[in-house]
Amino acid sequence: MKTLQVLLVAAALALVPAKASAGDYEVANVMDDALYGAGVGGLVGLGLMLISTSPTSNWNYVTQGVGVGIIAGAAYGVYRSSRAFAQVEDGQINLGMPTPQFAVQDTPVGLVLVAKTDLIAGQF
């Protein structure tokens, strides 16, 4: 049963194109990062499976590695994406979801957790 799961995950990853055909470049970057994360996670899981005391009974290491890699890669892609609502690049305005940034600020009342987000970002 585990072998079937590994084969299904491998087949699904083989069918996904290397570049996402999304209109938004941020979505394409998140997809790319998730796919790379899946590959790295699968390789790490395979390595852990091979050095375990019973490799044939630890195929779940590969599937768990792929799952963790997809989640970590997607999270990294979202973190790396635009942090502003409107971003100006090469004369084009790209709209996106602003990513909040959290910080601890020292105030007269004590330390306070603050959140901020940029509405417009660009290089001039």
Residues 6+ apart with CB under 8 A from 27: 20
Contact 45, 59 (CB under 8 A): no
Reported as a pLDDT band with limits 50, 70 and 90, residue 22 is very low
Report how far residue 53's alpha carbon sits from residue 58's, in angstroms, rounded to the nearest whole number. Answer: 9
Read off the pTM.
0.53
Task: Give mean pLDDT, residues 7-30.
Answer: 62
pLDDT of residue 43: 93
pLDDT of residue 75: 85
Closest of 38, 33, 100, 96 to residue 63, by C-alpha: 38
pLDDT of residue 20: 42
Q: Between residues 51 and 91, which one has the greater pLDDT?
A: 51
SS3 content of the chain, % helix, strand, coil (to 5): 50, 25, 25
Reported as a pLDDT band with limits 50, 70 and 90, residue 82 is low
The residue count of the chain comes to: 124
User: pLDDT of 92-115, one tens digit each?
Assistant: 666 666 667 778 888 888 888 887
